Structure 1
Amino acid sequence: MAYQISTGLAIYFVLWWLVLFLTLPFGVRSQHEDGVGAPGTDPGAPILARMGRKLMWTTLISAVIFAIAMWAYYSGYLSIERLSKLMGMPEFHN
């Protein structure tokens, strides 16, 4: 049981980071795009990153993807046998 919980948390943690890096560029405007900026700063620097909003969206999107993946796993749609067959790998027999 402890392995299942820790494995689930590890998978969610990796998924969360992947989604975070996917959501970071959305809604960011650079100083160059808005025509304002402090002297001596890079023109590509963001004006307002809105990290709180991005962290909330990341958590929500990750939770939905994780829930769908867990449903698929427990329903039998997502299994090692099925994935190996899709990838053309030989079947594994015990």
Structure 2
Amino acid sequence: MGWVSGTVVFFLIWWTALFAILPIGTQPNPDGDPETGWRGVPERPRLLRKLLLTTLVTAVLWLGVEAVIASDWLSFRTGWLAMPEK
């Protein structure tokens, strides 16, 4: 995998992991707005911690994807997934 496609794959995994990690540990405002009752934004979203966790999870997943792509374990050129030769 080249550096451009590796960066694109990393970004796609990162974006997906971000939306999976964002709701972890959030607590809504228990009181809410007195007029509307809207509880809205969490009191302490801890975004920096979640961004760092997202990057760590993405790095591990990306290394796994890179290993599968670089190996012949799952290949359309050789092995049981290979196209039949004419």
Post-superposition, which runs of at least 4 consecutive aligned residues in structure 1 deviate over 6 A? none
1:53 equivalent to 2:53? Answer: no
**Rounded Cα–Cα distance in structure 1 between residues aligned with 2:47 and 2:75:** 36
Partner of 1:88: none
Identity value in percent: 30
The TM-score normalised by the length of structure 2 is 0.77
- Pairwise mapping of residues 14-29 of structure 1 onto structure 2 (< 5 A)? 14-29=12-27
Which of 9, 12, 18 aligns to 2:10? It is: 12
Within 5 Å, which residues of 2 pair with 1:32-71?
A: 35-40=30-35, 42-71=38-67
What do you get for the CA RMSD once the two structures are aligned?
2.6
Alignment equivalent of 1:92, drawn from 73, 77, 83: 83
Question: Is 2:76–2:83's contact at 8 Å kept on the other side of the alignment?
Answer: no
Bigger helix fraction: 1
List runs of 5+ in structure 2 lacking aligned partners.
none
Task: Give distance in 1, aligned partners of 2:40 and 2:6.
Answer: 38
